[in-house]
Amino acid sequence: MEAQNYSDHPQLKPIQILSGTAKEGSIGPQIGLTDIGESEDAYLFRVALPGLKKNECQVKCNIQRDGKVQIKGLITTTGGVLENSSSIFQMRLNQLCPPGPFTITFYLPGPVDPRLCSPKFRGDGILEVVVFKPRTPNISQQV
């Protein structure tokens, strides 16, 4: 079933949709591997973004109320030639993800409050986000 057909069936949501470098990356560590956890009040998700560095990456994470998560980024690493201060290296083996834009889209198991999230980009290339479920107002009846 194509991704666009999911909109016709609200009960059927794709587990994950990859595009750009994330989809084409047949070599190297796979971008977009996702773990999802759930507690009573929140969801935790972790997304593998190997090869991206915290201070050098261009990653944006958009979370919607229905639980849709979209992560967009750009891998800027050049694959063919590596230069440092004293040498130029011509790469003979390229197993890291190729440079270019990527998009990762998936759904959390339920609705969330996107204002209440705590993202953390770990040093090991994992984007870790805790996002809270919507709070239901406490309606107490006075006697």
User: What is the pTM assigned to this prediction?
Assistant: 0.68
Q: Domain extents for the chain?
A: 30-132
Question: What pLDDT is attached to residue 15?
Answer: 72
- What pLDDT digit, counting tens, does each position of 6-40 carry? 445 555 555 777 777 667 655 556 788 899 999 99
Which residues 6+ apart lie within 8 Å of 37 measured at CB? 43, 44, 45
Q: Tens digit of pLDDT for each residue in 56-90? A: 667 899 999 999 999 998 877 655 555 666 777 77
Alpha-carbon span 143 to 139, nearest angstrom: 13
Distances (CA, A) of 7 to 28, 117, 127: 32, 26, 27
pLDDT at 106: 96
Q: Which of 1-15, 51-65, 113-127 has the lowest mean pLDDT?
A: 1-15
In whole angstroms, give the CA distance from residue 27 to residue 17: 18
**CATH code of the region 30-132:** 2.60.40.790
Predicted confidence band of residue 45 (pLDDT cuts 50, 70, 90)? very high
The residue with greater pLDDT, 91 or 51, is 51
